[in-house]
A and B are shown apart, each in its own frame.
Chain A
Amino acid sequence: MVIERRWKKWVYFYIPLTLFVIGTLFPFYWMFVTAIRPDAELYRSWRAATNTPFWTLQPTLDHFRDLLEKTTFPQWLWNTFFIACVSTVISLFCGLLAGYALARLKFPMAGMLGTSIFVTYLVPPTLLFIPLADIIRSFQLGNTPWALILTYPTFLIPFSTWLLMGYFKTIPKELEECARIDGATRFGAMIRIIFPIAVPGILSAGIFAFTLSWNEFIYALVFLSSPEKKTVPVGVVSELIRGDIYFWGQLMAGALLGSIPVALVYSFFVEYYVTGLTGSVKG
């Protein structure tokens, strides 16, 4: 065992870790403090004698109340949730089948197909939204949730296909062969053996897909126009900044509420999520 000097542990471990944690969590803290700060404190001068930028002595829930009662924020939450769930389910379904096929079946051009799926993922959405907008208009889907539900899979499917393909490859193929000898068809072995073992991989693909669609901005901004149809990321910035007036309290309250579902999803599945990204299965 190596005995290290205590100061070394501080210099190389505790201090950098503390800085990192502060750097990561401070924006959230700022968001929280701003959300509960009364307007009087928010809009006074920085040089005011009573200014306390890092905390507040009169916490209030006014901004949350205004947000939930005076804006369509609850509707945005529901929109975002609905769109994220449906597009995640679609993408997972396609990703599972495609990932399995690419990992296990031998067919001509399989390797090239895998690579080209990945390349699709690399096309930036900032370019892709232009042709997509045309398609959305032709199908008259503009300003409906389906505009997003059908466009999000364009980047979610390649992503989950790749993640799941990698995961399937770590599962020994003997498991499946054994199931096929034991009496299952190829499809049966996939459903009964491979998918249950791949649950960590499927969950992390699902979490990723859900988060990506929850936070997505460009497509939501372009394809939706009426305030009551918007998603949280777009609604908060487009409806709570009027002209050049920033409703800081409501903005931050909206951002806070918008990030809670994602944080919940992550904290519930964090263990699966880690094994999904790193892990394989030992028979």
Chain B
Amino acid sequence: MAQVLMKDLNKKYDEVHAVKDVNLHIRDKEFIVLVGPSGCGKTTTLRMLAGLEEITAGEIHIGDRLVNDLPPKDRDIAMVFQNYALYPHMTVYDNMAFGLKMRKFPRAEIEQRVRDAAQLLGIQELLKRKPRQLSGGQRQRVAVGRAIVRHPQVFLFDEPLSNLDAKLRVQMRVELKKLHNRLETTAVYVTHDQVEAMTLGDRVVVMKDGWIQQVGEPLELYAHPVNKFVAGFIGSPAMNFADVTINDTGGVVTAESQGLRLQVPPAKAGALRAYKGQSVAFGVRPEDVHIATGADPAGLTFDAVVEVVEPLGSEILLDVRAGSSTTTIVARVEPTVRSKVKDSIKLAVNPERLHFFDPKTEQAI
């Protein structure tokens, strides 16, 4: 168990600058998730931490050791790969024992640790089998087991659930979380799936183009994204965006576009006044748009036409077009709402949960 510290970490391949000035302090026992679209540098960062990629510039500390020049085997880490990377010529037992054998643990202790890990993961019956005789979920468990028998300082996970089917993925996600609560080992987890990131991470690191965009607890990222990318990346269905013009008429700040005229709540009005007459990006999450009732003030409602109805059972997603605009807005409404395609409806937004982003820097206003 140890903290991990990355200082001004950079990775350059011949022409690609894959990781740029990453600074990250991963606390002891923390489960941290690196998330971002493919090519954002998250896997490269993880591989540098593992020692599988050279560090172009910067420092990585595991515990209180600088590990830049340590080979992977001396970093006291364990890694779970996307394709599991089980040794096909060895039994499950030997796969799990390999790391301990390499470190010359006594035979009895190896046996004990492998049995314990197998029991924890419910794979006791599989110990004599070869990897090719296992299902995807079982292989995944073996790969995790191989990592935990070593009792390493840090676990590294490189998209470990991507090769599983949807149902199994959800199940393994829960198990990984339970496992972490139990083992309390620092873990760094890479994924492109924001749901995995939100559900697993104590903190989530959102990356794009090699830069860290935001680091924070899942709900903090969700409620207060620092920029438009994070706002759009976290959450499913994604946040609705529309380009709006800021107007200030007699102290009342409004955001307007075709068919949309919303009164900006006082909390945001101050900052937005500086953008008077300019266009900014406006964002609102689907669950913050609801069918208007008499209680909603007029300045927070808009008229819309239903284009698509997506009933999900627990909720209904309405894809609507606001007035004459071309922007589609998704609203997440109660399953009791009975709207049909081409219905005209009145929707309202939740004033505390509106987001505005600078048109150039895309930073939150």
Contacts and interface: CB of A to CB of B under 8 A. Distances in A.
Interface of A: 172, 174-175, 177-185, 188, 193, 196-197, 281-283
Contacts of A183: 73, 98-99, 102-103
Interface stretch (B85-93, B251-259, B306-314): B85-93
A192 to B, nearest CB: 8
Contacts of B271: none
Interface of B: 50-52, 71-73, 75, 77-79, 81-89, 98-99, 102-103, 131-132, 139, 146, 150
Contacts of A188: 102
Interface of A is mostly: helix
B71 A180 contact: yes
A281 B98 contact: no
Contacts of A185: 71, 73
B50 A182 contact: no
Nearest to B104: A183
A281 B75 CA distance: 28
A197 B89 contact: yes
A154 to B, nearest CB: 33
A175 B146 CA distance: 13
A181 B79 contact: yes
Contacts of B75: 181
A252 B131 CA distance: 50
Contact of A181 (B50, B84, B88): B50
Contacts of B81: 174, 177-178
Contact of B150 (A180, A182, A196): A182
A236 B52 CA distance: 56
A111 to B, nearest CB: 14
Contacts of B98: 179, 182-183
A180 B83 contact: no
B317 to A, nearest CB: 38
B144 to A, nearest CB: 13
A44 to B, nearest CB: 60
7 contacts: A174-B81, A178-B146, A180-B73, A183-B73, A183-B102, A283-B85, A283-B139
A45 B86 CA distance: 69
A181 B77 contact: yes
A172 to B, nearest CB: 6
